[in-house]
Structure 1
Amino acid sequence: MHLVGRDGNLENVTIAFALVESEDIACYTWFVQKVTDAGINLSGLPMFCDRDQALYSVANDLQLNLKFCTQHILRNVNSKFSEFKLATHGSLIWKLQAVYTKAEYDSTLGIIEINAGRNVRDYLAAIDPERWCVHKHVGVQRLYGWRTSNFVESVFGTQLVLGLRALPPLAFFKAMCTRIMQRAYQRHCNAIQWQNEQRQITKGAMKLYEKERRQAGFYRVIKSSDDITHVCRTDTTVEVSRRCTESEKHCTCGFIDQYGIPCRHAVATLIHRGRMHDVNNLFDPCYHVDTYANAFKNAQIVVPLEDELVPDHETIPAPKGNKKGRPPTKRIRSNGEERISSDYKCSKCNQRGHNKRTCRS
C-alpha cells in the first residue's frame, strides 16, 4: 500500500508505504490508523483511489475525503460496455470530470448519451459527482488539478524501472527508505538554492503558470469596476467572456479557484492595469518558496543501518488471515486494466504461438 502526496513544487512525496497480505477492510484500516498515529492529519484532504469497495467502506467509517480516480472509471466503462469505444469516447469522460459548472456537467452527460449510449450515460450519472467531478468543488475545495491516482502509479513505475519491486521484502523496504531519504535531501537543497536566488514561487508552480501567461496576450480586457474586469479571447469567432474579481482572487474560468495559480484571464487583467508586479500575490501560499522551505529545509531522514535496527514492539503488523488453497503469486490487475500476456513459445521447434503439446512439426 502506498500513500503519495505532492509538494509545492508539484513533485510526488511518498508519505507512507506498507506490505500487506491483501487489500481488504482490515488491512486498509490498519494502514490508515498507522498513518494517523504517526501524526499525519488526513482530515478533509482529498484522497484519490480506484473504486475499491473495501477502501470505500473504510473511508466512510474513518470519515476520509475519498475521491475516485478518473482513469479507473474510464477503464471500468471500457470493460463493461461494448458500445463504448475508448479512442472515440474516452475524451468525453475526461471532459465530464473537468467541467466547472453543473450546466456543463449535464450537457456533457447528454453528449455522452448521444455518442456512447444510454447505458454508459446512466453508469456515469450514478457515480456521485462529489467523489470525482470538479464542478462540485469549485468554491468549496481545491483539487489542484488532481483527478487520478497517478501519483501512486508513478511511484510504482519508478519502482519497476529501478528494479525495486523484484527485491525481497526487507531489501525492498531498505531501498524505498533510501530513496525517500535522497528525495528529502534534494528538497532541502532546492529550498536553500531558491532562497539564495530570492525566488518567491517554486519552479514547478512557475512552469504551470508560464503556460497560462503565454496565452494572456490573446485576450481583451474590459473594466467593470476598479476590482472587476471582463476578459474575452480576441482570435475566435465565438466570444466567451470570463469575469475576474481581483480582491477575491477569483475568475469564472475556475482555473485559479482549483489550482491556486493565476489564470490567463487574471494575468491579462494585471497586464491591462500595469500591475504585473502583483502577480505573485495570486499564488496559493503552498507554492511560495518560504512555505516550501518551512516544510523541507533542514528536514533530515536518516535510514538506520542493519546493525542499528531494534525490534519495534509498538507497531503491530498488518492483519493476516489464513486462507485456503495455494497463495496467489501473480499481481491482481485493477478493474478494467488491460491484460498483458506474452505468446507461447514451443520448446520443440522454437516457434511462437503454440507449445510443445500442440506442435505439428
Structure 2
Amino acid sequence: MSSPTKGYVYGTRSTVAVRRLVDVSTKTCECPFMCQHGIPCCHFISVLTEIKQFHTVYDYVDDCYIVKTYVAMHDVENDQNIKLPTHHDPDTTVRERMRVVKIGRDQKKRIASGGEEPSSSTAKRRCCGNCGEFGHNVRTYRNDVVI
C-alpha cells in the first residue's frame, strides 16, 4: 500500500501481472468498470478490505443507485407518476413463446445473399472423369467415347 487512501492492486487472473492504481479519496480506479457503472470494482473493494474500511463500501456507490435519488426523481411518495392497475385480468399476462423444434441437421455453411457472387474457393466445380475439364462430368460428357 502506498498511502492510507491510495494503493496498487495486482491482477493475478491473466498470465501478465496487471497493476491497478486505486485512490479511495477520489473514488477512482484505473480499470474502466467503476467509472462506467458507478459501482466499486473488485480492485477498489480489495483496497477497502486492506485498509479495514470494507463496511463503508456502500458510500462509494454512485448516487443513481440510491433509493433516495429514485424517490426524488420519480415522486413515488405522492403517487403522481406511477399508476398501478386496480384490477388484474389473467388474460393480459404475457405467456412464454412456443418453441419450434427444427427438423434435420444444423446448417454448417453460410447461405449467400441474393446479389452475392459465389467465390471460386467456395463454389463446387464439376470435373469430368473422361477429359479432366471443368464444367461438366462423365454423365453429361458430349463427345463420343471410343472403346
Instruction: Tell me the TM-score normalised to structure 2 length.
Output: 0.50
Structure scoring higher RCO (CA < 8 A, sep ≥ 6) equals 1
Q: Which has the larger radius of gyration?
A: 2
The structure with the largest helix share of the pair is 1
Instruction: Tell me the TM-score normalised to structure 1 length.
Output: 0.21
